[in-house]
Amino acid sequence: MKNKSEEPATDSSVYKTLLESTRAIPWKIDWKTMKFAYIGPQIEALLGWTPESWQSVEDWATRMHPDDQGWVVDFCVAQSKSGIDHEADYRALHKDGHYVWIRDVVHVSRDDHGEVEALIGFMFDISERKKTEEKVVALQKKLEEYSFQDGLTGVANRRMFDSFLDETWHNAVRNQQPLSVLLLDIDNFKQYNDLHGHLQGDECLKRIAKVLMGAATRSKDFVARFGGEEFVIVLPETNPEAALKIAERCHQHLLREQIAHGGNSASQLVTLSIGVGTITPARNDSLTDFLGLVDQRLYEAKHQGRNRIVAA
């Protein structure tokens, strides 16, 4: 007959066997030291890194896609400090260099005094789910564009922009994720039309639209004609650094086009002024105020001499 004193150890080994036989990857972090107390051996099969290589939260943070790292770390730390259980989706770096979509579900454990003692959670591989979601988003986006497309440039029109931004804003509020917006204006476009004619001006607008589509390439990125010679790019789940990179990419791609513009005070080529804004909106934040801020930055870019980017 089994001695009762042996039961806890036996139970512990049973629990460990059960945890390590699931596809979910269990882990535990000591809050005071920020060190991994445990991570399941399944992590090596999923990401290529051995369990022994997961020493601290620094290993977790650095093995994350740069576009996700900032907001995920800030969000998880803030929630953990507040003692709030939470979850986050992000792209984790595989040892061979590609990325795997992960969902981290985190429970905040407290001691008898109510202080945060440890973080305990599970990592789930959600790569296939994300692929399906991205396909659905891409299909929905394509269908919507047929109904809400700008007739000249082929990108979304202002009506579609208003609908998309409103939905994206509410998603960002609900999920507490960053949202970035770029407002872009073709410099001295009236002079371009005066010099080259309106037909050539229409061709210029079409080429600009293609440039912007080529700069914002994720399935969830959204490009629209805001009106006249103004365009807008909406970047869900995008932090300030990533948004600035996309704005810079817009300038770089347009420069490659080498569209001549003799009436441009900023250059002999067609150029863009860009205002950039990022927000992780709370329920009391105003979408109108946020757009007003981005528009003000676009105005500042114009005022400073055009062909430039103004962000925070």
* Catalytic residue ranges: 229
Question: Can you tell me the distance from the alpha carbon of 295 to that of 305, in angstroms, rounded to the nearest whole number?
Answer: 16
Cα torsion 84, 90, 94, 97: sign: negative
Residue with tokens 């080259």: 196
Tokens of 67: 């576009």
Tokens of 291: 């757009």
CA dihedral 36, 42, 48, 52 (to 10 degrees): 30
- In what helix (H) or strand (E) does residue 86 lie, and over which residues does it extend? strand 86-93
Burial 265-281 (b: 16+ CB within 10 A, else e): ebeebbbbbbbbbbbbb
CA 294-299-300 angle, 5° bins: 95
